[in-house]
Structure 1
Amino acid sequence: MMSEEFLKKLGHNISVRAKAKFKTNLEFADACDIDETSIRRILKGKQNFSINIFLKICNALDIKMSELLSELNM
């Protein structure tokens, strides 16, 4: 899987879960302790991000990193 495709699929999966739990991207960004611009880019699959950011996102969504990755069917 190409990295661009991977980021888009991961961003989409994060977005689906974030929309179910948070009213706005700003609320989600605050829960992750990440700026809103970065969150928007991550959700669109336009930004590569560190494992630390991924952990913050998963913690805010109350999901294991492995669970979110397994949904990508890699």
Structure 2
Amino acid sequence: MQKPTEHVLHATALRADVLAAPSVWLPRREVLLDWLNGFLKRAEKPAYDLGETEAEDLKALDLFLRKKKIPVVAA
């Protein structure tokens, strides 16, 4: 089994944050969850290479969620 990368851990944490805050209004919540789920599914593959913009996309999503005051789920 492949060791999780920092990007996989980050995406997993972001997905948990979104799911843990169902009462916080978040535009396009399902689209965000679909993208995170798709990313995690792609990242499970043994020969996965991080896409050109995926690391930046994760950072941007993190910043967006913090601006929307989505609470961070404690690990």
TM-score using structure 1 length: 0.45
Which structure would you say has the larger Rg?
Answer: 2
Structure with higher RCO (Cα < 8 A, 6+ apart)? 2
Structure whose residues are more often helix by fraction = 1
